[in-house]
A and B are shown apart, each in its own frame.
Chain A
């Protein structure tokens, strides 16, 4: 029988430190939820966490919890719980998995962190629809269930340029959140504190950008699959010194790999751009699949979504508005295509894989002809794989493997004929 290829992946040494700061973060959240003095806010992953952190809230990110449900493969059994109360299997499987977990009284936090039973009970829920409408529906369900206020930003969408008019709009919406947050927290907004948090967020995301850009080296010292794990602090600890310290260490390790010519994948032959969400329940399998094909999936739009170069401590609220409006997912296809083309060049990409996530249309950029347009413009071939971020009922492993192997065969042919 022909030998199956053995995947070769390298462990990142800084992982231990990341696990520690993530653990500290979850225990702190848990303690805040149990204390009478500290208040807990739930927040969408791309803002306005800076405002909440500056106002002294312990901040929980339901998307992070939902991704953990996916990565631990708990989600698929929990999603039907939300389906039965009227949340369709066709909508965001972060939402359905998270609400399903609440209904079933289960959480991956309880397994990972002894003493923690569930996500912290919120005092306020704060959303930003710059990602999708589902986050508002998601938070609204909890607001009703737990009888807590739900406020947020209804973001403009599909813009090519981030104009002053749009920034004015979102700035006003951010300012409109403040009275409710002051009432819940019992303290006024300290502008100096906000400047400090925004400065730390900026530093964190700048370091995260440098971490991701190490993958421009050949061989790439970091894969997309590594990055989906190591972006944890950029999501949940943005605006804290711990996140900044962590990314300094990770960056140093990756730079050492570049200096020694060490790739994340042995004998890297092909370099792939991943467009869309990861399949959280298949991170390991996908990582091994590509490593076995001497292929580095080394850069993605998804992991780059936590880079906010616009944060400016001198103008915190307007710069937050600009940063949240500059996010890839909220932009027009014209902007997205220009962005991806720049990335393809910068990272020396051989092929693009689009993950068409069944329940996440906003993060599935293969549905309106983008792969064909980009392929025509760049000559770089692409593949669309069907799947989902959390709902493994929408994933066919055999089809994924066949598609990926055939795609790499195609790239080999191109290389051979070049």
Chain B
């Protein structure tokens, strides 16, 4: 078996993700780390971690593409960078090759991307300059409630009712959360309200087509959000095997395709 591989790197505002694939597009290795302040070191760590899972070395990389906010800050990239919109689209379409609407909930951005049956992008939208519905909102609420992020999913699941937040402003939402605390409302119901607010803010961005795919780190770590989204949308939603890695996977697929198309 050849060890030749292709690499996709998604350097997001919150987390850096690397995916290593083979020529058939199979994922062979992956890694995720907080982006932090040293983008080059984070990228190198993720790359080496992912490569170690494949048995390949850096010299076996045939092509590499970067995406995300730090896409122009990485040394080992061999091809022109792609936007995260393009990469999420490519990654999701790889898992679900049909007409889909992708809802990507990231650390700082939300995106709604519409693809036709050939994987061609019809349109995309990013959230306004606002944290509503993003991972940053969840982190802020986690901090306000003094509940670790990792515990919020299970707490929300225990809720008996949803305490809805009316505002789309993070500061106003935090005030509403404090008001609920002051009135002695159950924490689980408050957390479910926070999840509900996130999904609502994303759904308000655009109309959805029939098949909806969820991606991004927030849904990867909070499966209850996925269930809630399906309930609000009114039909089941699709989830890739690695929702947090779709951008990096898309970048790796672009790397492979670009390499194979090059003369």
* Those of A356-413 within 8 Å (CB) of chain B: 375, 381, 384, 386, 394, 396, 398-399, 402-403, 405-407, 409-410, 413
Assess the A386–B129 pair: CB atoms within 8 A: yes
Residues from chain B with Cβ under 8 Å of A394 in the complex? 129
Assess the B78–A403 pair: CB atoms within 8 A: no
Check if A144 is an interface residue, CB within 8 A of chain B.
Answer: no
Contact with B along A188-199 (1 / 0, CB 8 A): 000000000000
Stretch at the interface among B118-126, B176-184, B189-197: B118-126
Contact with A along B74-88 (1 / 0, CB 8 A): 110111111111100
Q: How far is the CA of A381 from the CA of B123 in the complex (A)?
A: 7
Q: How far is the CA of A399 from the CA of B118 in the complex (A)?
A: 27
Q: Contacts A1-B74, A2-B78, A409-B85 given: A417-B120 contact, CB under 8 Å?
A: yes
Find the A residue at minimum CB distance from B77. Answer: A2
Q: Which among A384, A396, A413 has the greatest number of chain B C-beta atoms within 10 A?
A: A413
Q: How far is the CA of A415 from the CA of B120 in the complex (A)?
A: 11
Residues from chain B with Cβ under 8 Å of A413 in the complex? 120-121
Find the B residue at minimum CB distance from A375. Answer: B123
Residues from chain A with Cβ under 8 Å of B31 in the complex? none
Check if A4 is an interface residue, CB within 8 A of chain B.
Answer: yes
Check if A346 is an interface residue, CB within 8 A of chain B.
Answer: no
Assess the A1–B77 pair: CB atoms within 8 A: yes
Check if A414 is an interface residue, CB within 8 A of chain B.
Answer: yes
Distance from A251 Cβ to chain B, minimum over Cβ atoms (Å):
38
Check if B66 is an interface residue, CB within 8 A of chain A.
Answer: yes
Q: How far is the CA of A409 from the CA of B166 in the complex (A)?
A: 36
Q: Contacts A386-B129, A396-B129, A417-B118 given: A406-B75 contact, CB under 8 Å?
A: no
Residues from chain B with Cβ under 8 Å of A406 in the complex? 83-86, 124
Find the A residue at minimum CB distance from B71. Answer: A2
Assess the A409–B83 pair: CB atoms within 8 A: yes
Q: Contacts A386-B128, A413-B121, A417-B118 given: A1-B75 contact, CB under 8 Å?
A: yes
Distance from B209 Cβ to chain A, minimum over Cβ atoms (Å):
14
Q: Contacts A2-B79, A386-B129, A406-B124 given: A398-B69 contact, CB under 8 Å?
A: yes
Check if B175 is an interface residue, CB within 8 A of chain A.
Answer: no
Distance from A282 Cβ to chain B, minimum over Cβ atoms (Å):
14
Decide if the interface of chain B is mainly helix, strand, loop or mixed.
Answer: loop
Assess the B129–A399 pair: CB atoms within 8 A: yes
Number of interface residues, chain B, beta carbon within 8 A: 27
Residues from chain A with Cβ under 8 Å of B109 in the complex? 399
Assess the A399–B126 pair: CB atoms within 8 A: yes
Residues from chain B with Cβ under 8 Å of A414 in the complex? 120
Find the A residue at minimum CB distance from B85. Answer: A406
Assess the A410–B129 pair: CB atoms within 8 A: no
Distance from B47 Cβ to chain A, minimum over Cβ atoms (Å):
14
Residues from chain B with Cβ under 8 Å of A410 in the complex? 86, 121, 123-124
Find the A residue at minimum CB distance from B116. Answer: A417
Q: Which among A394, A396, A399 has the greatest number of chain B C-beta atoms within 10 A?
A: A399
Contact with B along A52-89 (1 / 0, CB 8 A): 00000000000000000000000000000000000000
Q: Which among A402, A406, A410, A414 has the greatest number of chain B C-beta atoms within 10 A?
A: A406
Check if B72 is an interface residue, CB within 8 A of chain A.
Answer: yes
Assess the A403–B77 pair: CB atoms within 8 A: no
Distance from B126 Cβ to chain A, minimum over Cβ atoms (Å):
6
Find the A residue at minimum CB distance from B121. Answer: A410
Find the A residue at minimum CB distance from B80. Answer: A2
Q: Which among B80, B121, B122 has the greatest number of chain A C-beta atoms within 10 A?
A: B121
Assess the A1–B72 pair: CB atoms within 8 A: yes
Assess the A2–B66 pair: CB atoms within 8 A: yes
Assess the B129–A409 pair: CB atoms within 8 A: no
Find the B residue at minimum CB distance from A394. Answer: B129
Residues from chain A with Cβ under 8 Å of B129 in the complex? 386, 394, 396, 399
Distance from B66 Cβ to chain A, minimum over Cβ atoms (Å):
7
Contact with B along A1-18 (1 / 0, CB 8 A): 111100000000000000
Contact with A along B43-75 (1 / 0, CB 8 A): 000000000000000000000001001001111
Residues from chain A with Cβ under 8 Å of B81 in the complex? 2
Residues from chain A with Cβ under 8 Å of B82 in the complex? 409
Q: How far is the CA of A3 from the CA of B71 in the complex (A)?
A: 11
Residues from chain B with Cβ under 8 Å of A399 in the complex? 109, 126, 129
Checking A2, A396, A409 against B72 with a beta-carbon cut-off of 8 angstroms, the contacting residue is: A2
Find the A residue at minimum CB distance from B81. Answer: A2
Distance from A1 Cβ to chain B, minimum over Cβ atoms (Å):
5
Q: How far is the CA of A43 from the CA of B66 in the complex (A)?
A: 51
Residues from chain A with Cβ under 8 Å of B75 in the complex? 1
* Those of B152-179 within 8 Å (CB) of chain A: none
Find the B residue at minimum CB distance from A408. Answer: B83
Q: How far is the CA of A165 from the CA of B128 in the complex (A)?
A: 41
Distance from B128 Cβ to chain A, minimum over Cβ atoms (Å):
5
Distance from A119 Cβ to chain B, minimum over Cβ atoms (Å):
32
Q: Contacts A413-B120, A414-B120 given: A403-B86 contact, CB under 8 Å?
A: no
Distance from B189 Cβ to chain A, minimum over Cβ atoms (Å):
33
Q: How far is the CA of A126 from the CA of B69 in the complex (A)?
A: 47
Assess the A402–B83 pair: CB atoms within 8 A: yes
Distance from A378 Cβ to chain B, minimum over Cβ atoms (Å):
14
Of the A-B pairs whose beta carbons lie under 8 Å apart in the complex, a sample of 7, sorted by A's number, is A2-B77, A386-B128, A399-B126, A405-B83, A406-B83, A406-B85, A409-B83
Q: Interface of A with B (CB < 8 Å)? A: 1-4, 375, 381, 384, 386, 394, 396, 398-399, 402-403, 405-407, 409-410, 413-414, 417
| Sample of 5 further A-B pairs with CB below 8 A, known A2-B79, A2-B81, A413-B121 | A3-B80, A386-B128, A398-B69, A409-B82, A417-B120
Q: Which 5 pairs across A and B sit closest by C-beta, in order of nearness?
A: A406-B85, A406-B83, A410-B121, A409-B86, A405-B83
